[in-house]
Structure 1
Amino acid sequence: MALNPVLEVIKNRRSIRSFKKDPIPEEYLKLILEAGIWAPSAGNLQPWYFVVVRDPEVKKLLSISALNQTFISQAPVVIVVCALPWVSSSRYGKRGEELYCLQDTAAAIQNMLLAAASLGIGSCWVGAFDEEAVRKILGLNSKVRPVAIIPMGYPAKIPPPPPRRPIKEVVLEE
């Protein structure tokens, strides 16, 4: 049985840490960002903000803020996905502020990674970074919470699939 195209993209997506210099077409970038916008969110509040970075100096600073992960600065485009905790807390209180806004941005991030992969664009979900440094680099309000740095570009190298735990190890049935 052939895989559904969505499942095929899910299984073939890789974390890319080596990029060609070729720019991402604007229409592709728009599709990737729209995929993020169409992610599910608690109460459809959409508590996110996407910062698109192309400036080499800003990418370099983001790279430094992310434990010197230099591949970030080598990507043609970097998207910083931010959560807006107050948007979620307006309806869901503390749980919205501390959890739902992060779940919602994670869904948006995954949508963008899969959309990028479907277009032949490589990406990597980077979560290891200094939030305050990223806030300062991007001039963000102190209430905005950077959640992920996503470098994107055409892959220079595609790694093999990583091992996955078998279903019987991760699924419990009652």
Structure 2
Amino acid sequence: MTKDVIEAIEQRRSVRSFNGDPVSEATVGRLVEAALRAPSAGNLQPWQLMIVYGEETRRSLASACRNQNFIAEAPVNIVVVLEQGKSQDVYGQLGQKYQYQDIGAAIENMLLAATGYGLATCWVGAFEEDKISQILQLGGDLRPEAIIAVGYSDENPVPVPRRNANEVVKVIH
């Protein structure tokens, strides 16, 4: 089930209640493909994606995320891991800025693709980095940057008010 991209943007919500239905590996693969199509400086794609299906590992991740238990309830977690230094090796100090923009673009592509497939997601950034690194056995220059809980929604969240365009748009001629 795919949706028009504008429709996906309008319908995407952060969901923190999942019904427990499994998400197929093929569909998760499509989310990964969406991340790989995101723009990145020099097409370096300075990230790795750790796909977590195991219930015990999801529980450990939830614990390291300030006990946000919905992370364990989601049948899939995608942990976005930064490959530190990859962007700086090419762009110097500017690479420090680019790497976070690149990761954000990859995450947003996955969120919108998930919405297009009828999935619910929540982008989580509140976690103890050291604990996540230990759980996933990350070493070297790998650093966890985000966790995306993925599953089928058990709620119907209402739209959250957003700022008016007149508040944020300045037209310069």
Would the TM-score normalized by the shorter structure come out above 0.5?
Answer: yes
The equivalent residue for 2:110 is 112
SS for the counterpart of 1:124 is strand
What is the TM-score with the length of structure 1 in the denominator? Answer: 0.94
Is the Cα–Cα contact under 8 Å of residues 135 and 142 in structure 1 kept in the other structure? no
- Offset at residue 158 of structure 1 (A): 2.1
- Offset at residue 142 of structure 1 (A): 3.9
SS for the counterpart of 1:50 is strand
**Residue type of the alignment partner of 1:70:** N
- Offset at residue 95 of structure 1 (A): 2.4
Q: Is 1:103 matched with 2:101?
A: yes
**Residue type of the alignment partner of 2:6:** L
- Offset at residue 130 of structure 1 (A): 1.0
User: Pairwise mapping of residues 1-174 of structure 1 onto structure 2 (< 5 A)?
Assistant: 5-96=4-95, 98-174=96-172
Segments ≥4 residues shifted beyond 6 Å: none
What is the TM-score with the length of structure 2 in the denominator? Answer: 0.95
Supply the RMSD in Å over aligned alpha carbons: 1.1
- Offset at residue 100 of structure 1 (A): 1.2
**Residue type of the alignment partner of 1:131:** E
Is the Cα–Cα contact under 8 Å of residues 124 and 151 in structure 1 kept in the other structure? yes
**Residue type of the alignment partner of 1:103:** Q
- Unmatched tracts of structure 1, length 5 or more: none
Between the aligned partners of 1:15 and 1:142, the Cα distance in structure 2 is 32
Is the Cα–Cα contact under 8 Å of residues 47 and 83 in structure 1 kept in the other structure? yes
Deviations 1:2-54 (A, max 9, x none): xx921111010010110011110122111111001111000111111000001
- Unmatched tracts of structure 2, length 5 or more: none
> Which one is further off, 86-95 or 65-74?
86-95
**Residue type of the alignment partner of 1:164:** R
